[in-house]
């Protein structure tokens, strides 16, 4: 039997190590604060693509509303940062609320006085939302395209509500906290290496967690239910629980990405809930390769990199080309660039032939579709 | 409560319901027949609106003639999408959804490049732009017109799918493709025609929505989410979609009266989520379709 | 001898059609019971009703003293009831080994499974089962590329991995060659020493080789029950079933 090096578990970990080593070199070699900030933002997109690949590529749960968890996380962080520049005695109410004729701080804003609580809520609320929504849908055995549509509907609902609740969210204008995030004595200046390293750490952590998840028994069952949920049920597993968990873990990662996004841009608006943004997340993962965590991240880097390289004047044409490219990938290359690499590596002369002595228990290297 | 308030909420509800229905009709027949969730449906509506705008502004075609012409032109676009893309993806439902999503992006962006992002307007004949005073309630004539067209389209669709030879073929293919094929029914062609009709219905919807609202490249999005919810909660059938549209239209009108439009929209979405929790097969439909 | 599974007055109506009509049967521990009957007799529906895939209109199913009617699929499976489907259902994108690993469902708690990476008991059990169904050389193969017969064996293997007390096998030899059928008969004859089995089958030759008891269904009801000799000499059965089936 030929062995495709793409499927070699050890080589996969090596590829991940090289990837993250290269990313670690960036702030050492780069001396441009603006570019560093932009690259950090790409890192945030990478986390998003990774989170979607985990849920969609492995679990078969297409989430068209990944922007919900991202946006909730981003708003949570923005509220925390906003409250850091308010003073409980002299100036307790953010300016935009005063403009909207609010006379006291709304209840939902109160916990954000405390930075720790605020950061906790920024992760906890989106994760909890995913748990509740996921449990509702998956217990009713809503899956596949229907689930995708329901996520889209919820996204649309969040978008309208965040615009509508102007006194609490500042509507379409969004929230722009005046000062960078401060955690204890650490100031997270968006244009500093500090913020790059935070994003780097979150990306690294998410990737390792995701990779371990896919290799655990849990991950195997998630992949199995992607193949045939009914069969898994007849083996005694509660498929809804597995679906809900993978969906919520993916949402939790997206929330972390949203929080990073806010301290990088010091700005959040309902456009995080815009359908267009969630489409982008799907496009990153699809072009990179939904079945591969690493390639999904690369997909985000490549697409967003090309977009910023081409600049704003080409934006409309670029989106058109991207749309065509996306259609072509879905039609001819469902595995994305990762699928292409897998194909090419499989055609290479058999490099790792017969590493094992015959008679040894065969290790299922062909088992891993992921990289 | 003042009876006239209730009545006007009721009338408004019928009007909203008819708009939902017109938007969802094409989607419902494509889903009901081929099992395809056409994410580009909203953009087909948008194309219908732009078709009407173009025909009116540059060729001086009267509004009433624009309706059938929009049907034909958008139906042709539908055929192109089906032949080039969807026919290769029939057994991959999630990929069909994604591919049509890509199509929606391309259509939206293409129209934006050609027509720009500024709003366009569809001119209505003078008598449609007036209001009708029914004593206690005051209704725009165009909204009544939309209700009438919705009824006409529903009847035509029902007739096509339940009273013609084509309809029998469509239903045969829907139930069992292989069996239908053995009786000499070309399922590919049936799907293509269904897709064309569904797209054409979106075109008519667009022509009318152009009269209700401004015409923008992004206008499709605002209709398509509700349209999907109508089809899903209706269970994918024609009757289910009609019932869901009618009911949701009333709820939207009532909630909008109590709260406001956006919050009403949010409540409707929540209601659909909760409804699906207890009846995932929708109002009308068997549980198996979802598996 | 105790009845492992007791079906009492089972009834399933689809609209006005009575698919299962007042059907009762007992399955005795450590026997292999073959469920036979012409197409549309309600065999697969009975399987669905036992395993919770469909809910009966009335009547009850008792498994090891517990009434299981109304429970969902995973609850019934956890009670020790394994099922092989008529159309072989394996995870086509996973390897044979992974298929068996998923089927090793001693721990169904999702949170615990997040932290579970490999288990010696599971590996040992996989080797054991793979040998039993003759797939020990094929563990690294993607299940979607297996031959039809191998897929059937894999699914039987998966049910074995579950270690159920009762196995329901829906047409385990459909589409198999003569040699494959023979091998399957050997597998089942070994299995029935430690397990209780219900096998839905059309092939009377195969039934003769494996069955301890044969239950004949007709139009959703019990027609006859007995040893294969009793069934083959039963005139009623000959009329409705054996007469129409060519074998």
Maximal CA-CA distance, chain B:
62
Domain assignment present for A368: no
Model confidence at B100, pLDDT cuts 50, 70, 90, reads very high
Residue ranges of alpha helices (H) inside chain C are: 43-51, 73-78, 96-103, 110-114, 120-132, 148-161, 178-191, 204-210, 228-233, 235-237
Going by C-alpha positions, the residue among B191, B257, B198, B266 that lies closest to residue B229 is B266
The pair of three-digit structure tokens given for residue A111, joined into one six-digit string: 């916990």
The domain in which residue A183 lies consists of 5-348
Edge-to-edge strands, sheet with C3-14: C17-28, C3-14, C58-63, C66-67
Task: Write the pLDDT tens digit of every residue in B152-163.
Answer: 999 999 999 888
Please tell me the distance from the alpha carbon of residue B272 to that of residue B32, in angstroms, as a whole number: 19
Q: How far apart, in whole angstroms, are the C-alpha atoms of residue C136 and residue C121?
A: 17
pTM equals 0.90
Domain membership flag for residue C247: no
Number of domains into which chain B is organized: 1
Has residue B127 got a pLDDT over 60? yes
- Tell me the three state secondary structure of residue C59: strand
Contact criterion met (CB below 8 Å) for C121 and A217: no
Residues of B in contact with A157 (CB under 8 A): 265-266, 269-270
Residue A161 lies in a domain: yes
How crowded is residue C45: how many other Cβ atoms within 10 Å of its Cβ? Answer: 21
Supply A176's token pair.
Answer: 């722009």
| Start-end of H helices in chain B | 3-34, 41-59, 63-84, 93-115, 141-162, 165-175, 177-182, 187-212, 219-234, 238-258, 261-278
Q: Is residue B48 part of a domain?
A: yes
Judged against a pLDDT cut of 90, whether residue B1 lies above it is answered with: no
Which among A62, A164, A279 has CB closest to B94? Answer: A62
Q: Name every chain C residue with its beta carbon within 8 A of the beta carbon of A363.
A: 140
Contacts of A326 in chain B (CB under 8 A): 98, 102, 105
Two tokens at B240? 């289910």
Of B105, B269, B280, the CB nearest to A154: B269
Burial class (CB in 10 A: 0-12, 13-18, 19+), C191: buried
Contacts of range C145-154, beta carbons closer than 8 Å, 24 or more positions apart: C146/C90, C146/C96, C148/C88, C148/C175, C148/C176, C149/C175, C149/C176, C149/C177, C149/C180, C151/C88, C151/C90, C152/C84, C152/C88, C152/C176, C152/C180, C152/C184, C153/C184, C153/C187, C154/C88, C154/C90, C154/C96, C154/C99, C154/C100
Q: Predicted ipTM? A: 0.90
pLDDT at position B221: 84
CA-wise closest residue to B222 among B234, B233, B210, B232 = B210
Residue B255 lies in a domain: no
Which of A43-57, B81-95, B122-136 shows the highest mean pLDDT? A43-57
Structural domain includes residue A73: yes
DSSP conformation class of B123: P
- Which residues does residue B120 pair with via DSSP β-bridges, in sequence order? B215
pLDDT by residue (tens digit) across B162-219? Answer: 888 888 888 888 888 888 888 888 888 889 999 999 999 999 999 999 988 899 999 9
Residues of chain A with pLDDT under 50: 1, 351-371
pLDDT in tens, C220-233: 888 888 888 888 88
Q: Using the predicted structure, report yes or no on whether residue B105 has a pLDDT greater than 70.
A: yes
Does A364 fall in a domain?
Answer: no
Highest mean pLDDT: which of B63-67, B133-137, B226-230? B63-67
C177 vs C200: CA distance, rounded Å:
18
Is 60 exceeded by the pLDDT of residue B256? yes
Range of the domain at B174: 19-220
Consecutive H or E run containing C11: strand C3-14
| 3-class state of residue C216 by DSSP | strand
Q: Tell me, yes or no, whether B284 lies in a domain.
A: no
A11-48: pLDDT as tens digits: 888 999 999 999 999 888 888 889 999 999 999 999 99
Q: Is residue A279 part of a domain?
A: yes
Residue appearing with tokens 């289910």: B240
Structural domains of chain C, count? 1
Pick B290 or C145 by higher pLDDT: C145
B282 vs A47 pLDDT, higher one = A47
The pLDDT score that the predictor gives to residue A126 is 97
Domain assignment present for C18: yes
Residue pairs spanning A and B at CB distance below 8 A: 121
- Chain A environment of B229 (Cβ under 8 Å): 149, 153
Is residue A60 in some structural domain? yes
CA distance B263 to chain A (A): 7
Strand, coil or helix: B143: helix
In a domain, A370, yes or no: no
For residue C205, what pLDDT is reported? 86
Distance CA B8, CA B3 (A): 9
Distance of CA B101 to CAs A145, B36, B224, Å?
12, 12, 12
Whole-angstrom distance, CA of residue B275 vs CA of residue B193: 33
Structure confidence at residue B244 as a pLDDT band (50, 70, 90): very high
Is residue A290 within 8 A of residue A342, CB to CB? The reply is no
Give the mean pLDDT per block of 10 residues along chain C (247 residues).
81 86 90 88 90 91 90 92 90 94 91 87 92 91 91 93 92 87 90 91 86 90 88 82 52
Q: For chain A, what is the domain count? A: 1
B280: three-class secondary structure by DSSP: coil
- Reference A109, options A50, A52, A169; nearest CA is A169
How close C106 gets to chain A, by Cα (Å)? Answer: 9
Q: Which residues in A have their CB inside 8 Å of a CB on B?
A: 60, 62, 64, 133, 136-137, 139-146, 148-150, 152-154, 156-157, 160-161, 163-164, 230, 275, 279, 282, 286, 316-317, 319-320, 322-324, 326-327, 330-331, 334
Mark yes or no for CB contact A220/C105 under 8 Å: no
Q: What is the CATH number of the domain that holds C138?
A: 3.40.50.300
Report how far residue A16's alpha carbon sits from residue A36's, in angstroms, rounded to the nearest whole number: 22
Host domain of residue C26: 3-242
Residue A359 DSSP SS3: coil
Task: List all residues of chain A from 228 to 287 with a beta carbon under 8 Å from chain C.
Answer: 228, 230-239, 241-242, 245
Instruction: Supply the pLDDT for residue A357.
Output: 39
Confidence label for B138 from pLDDT (cuts 50, 70 and 90): confident
Closest C-alpha among B66, B84, B109 to residue B206: B66
């Amino acid at each position: 039997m030929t062995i495709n090096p793409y499927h070699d578990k050890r080589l996969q970990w090596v590829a991940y190590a090289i990837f993250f080593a290269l990313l670690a070199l960036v702030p050492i070699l780069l001396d441009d604060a603006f570019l560093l900030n932009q690259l950090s933002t790409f890192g945030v997109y990478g986390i998003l693509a990774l989170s979607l690949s985990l849920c969609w590529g492995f679990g078969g749960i297409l989430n068209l509303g990944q922007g919900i968890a991202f946006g909730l996380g981003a708003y949570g962080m923005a509220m925390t940062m906003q409250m850091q520049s308010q003073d409980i005695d002299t100036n307790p109410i953010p300016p935009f609320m005063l403009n909207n004729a609010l006379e006291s701080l709304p209840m939902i804003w109160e916990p954000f006085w405390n930075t720790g609580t605020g950061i906790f809520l920024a992760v906890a609320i989106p994760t909890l939302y995913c748990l509740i929504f996921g449990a509702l849908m998956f217990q009713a055995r809503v899956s596949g395209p229907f689930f995708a549509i329901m996520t889209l509907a919820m996204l649309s609902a969040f978008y309208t509500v965040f615009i509508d609740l102007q006194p609490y969210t500042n509507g379409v204008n969004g929230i722009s906290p005046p000062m960078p995030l401060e955690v204890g004595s650490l100031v997270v200046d968006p244009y500093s290496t500090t913020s790059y390293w935070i994003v780097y750490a979150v990306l690294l952590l998410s990737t390792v967690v995701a990779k371990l998840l896919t290799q655990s028994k849990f991950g195997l069952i998630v992949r199995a239910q992607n193949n045939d949920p009914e069969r898994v049920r007849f083996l005694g597993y509660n498929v809804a629980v597995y679906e809900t968990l993978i969906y919520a873990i993916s949402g939790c990662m997206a929330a972390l990405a949203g929080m990073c996004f806010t301290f990088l841009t010091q700005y959040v608006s309902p456009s995080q809930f815009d359908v267009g943004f969630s489409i982008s997340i799907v496009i990153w993962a699809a072009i990179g390769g939904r079945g591969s965590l690493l390639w999904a991240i690369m997909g985000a880097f490549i697409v967003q990199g090309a977009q910023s390289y081409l600049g704003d004047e080409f934006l409309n044409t670029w989106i058109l080309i991207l749309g065509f490219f996306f259609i072509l990938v879905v039609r001819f290359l469902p595995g994305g660039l990762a699928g292409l690499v897998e194909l090419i590596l499989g055609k290479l002369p058999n490099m790792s032939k017969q590493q094992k002595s015959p008679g040894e228990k065969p290790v299922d290297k062909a088992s891993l579709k992921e990289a | 409560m003042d009876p006239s308030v209730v009545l006007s909420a009721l009338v408004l509800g019928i009007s909203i319901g008819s708009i939902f229905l017109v938007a969802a009709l094409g989607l419902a027949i494509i889903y009901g027949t081929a099992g395809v969730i056409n994410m580009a449906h909203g953009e087909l509506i948008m194309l219908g609106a732009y078709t009407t705008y173009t025909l009116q502004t540059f060729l001086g075609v009267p509004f009433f003639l624009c309706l059938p012409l929009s049907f034909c032109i958008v139906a042709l676009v539908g055929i192109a999408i089906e032949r080039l893309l969807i026919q290769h993806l029939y057994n991959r439902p999630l990929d069909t959804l994604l591919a049509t999503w890509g199509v929606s992006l391309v259509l939206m962006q293409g129209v934006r490049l050609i027509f720009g992002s500024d709003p366009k307007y569809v001119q209505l004949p003078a008598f449609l732009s007036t209001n009708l005073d029914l004593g206690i309630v005051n209704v725009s004539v165009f909204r009544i017109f939309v209700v009438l067209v919705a009824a006409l389209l529903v009847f035509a669709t029902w007739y096509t799918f339940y009273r013609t030879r084509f309809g029998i073929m469509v239903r045969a293919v829907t139930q069992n493709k292989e069996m239908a094929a053995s009786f000499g029914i070309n399922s590919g062609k049936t799907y293509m025609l269904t897709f064309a009709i569904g797209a054409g219905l979106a075109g008519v919807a667009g022509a009318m929505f152009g009269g209700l609202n401004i015409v923008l490249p992004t206008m499709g999005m605002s209709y398509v989410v509700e349209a999907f919810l109508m089809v899903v909660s209706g269970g994918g059938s024609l009757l289910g979609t009609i019932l869901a549209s009618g009911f949701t239209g009333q709820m939207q009108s009532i909630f909008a009266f109590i709260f406001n439009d956006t919050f009403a929209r949010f409540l409707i979405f929540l209601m659909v989520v909760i409804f699906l929790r207890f009846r995932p097969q929708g109002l009308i439909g068997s549980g198996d379709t979802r598996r | 001898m105790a009845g492992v599974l007791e079906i009492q007055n089972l009834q399933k109506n689809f609209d006005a059609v009575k698919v299962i009509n007042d059907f009762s049967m007992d399955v005795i521990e450590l026997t292999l019971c073959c469920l036979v009957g012409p197409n549309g007799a309600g065999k697969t529906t009975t399987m669905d009703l036992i395993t919770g895939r469909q809910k009966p209109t009335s009547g009850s199913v008792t498994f090891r003293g517990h009434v299981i009617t109304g429970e969902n699929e995973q609850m019934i499976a956890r009670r020790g009831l394994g099922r092989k489907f008529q159309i072989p259902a394996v995870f086509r994108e996973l390897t044979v080994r992974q298929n068996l690993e998923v089927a090793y469902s001693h721990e169904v708690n999702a949170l615990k499974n997040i932290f579970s990476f490999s288990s010696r008991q599971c590996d040992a059990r996989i080797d054991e089962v793979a040998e039993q169904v003759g797939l020990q050389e094929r563990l690294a193969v993607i299940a979607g590329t297996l031959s039809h017969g191998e897929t059937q064996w894999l699914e039987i293997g998966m049910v074995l991995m579950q270690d159920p007390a009762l196995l329901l096998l829906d047409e385990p030899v459909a589409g198999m060659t003569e040699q494959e059928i023979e091998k399957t008969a050997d597998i089942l004859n070994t299995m029935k020493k430690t397990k209780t089995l219900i096998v839905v089958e059309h092939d009377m030759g195969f039934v003769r080789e494996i069955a301890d008891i044969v239950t004949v269904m007709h139009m959703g009801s019990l027609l006859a029950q007995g040893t294969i000799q009793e069934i083959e000499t039963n005139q009623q059965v000959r009329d409705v079933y054996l007469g129409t089936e060519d074998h």
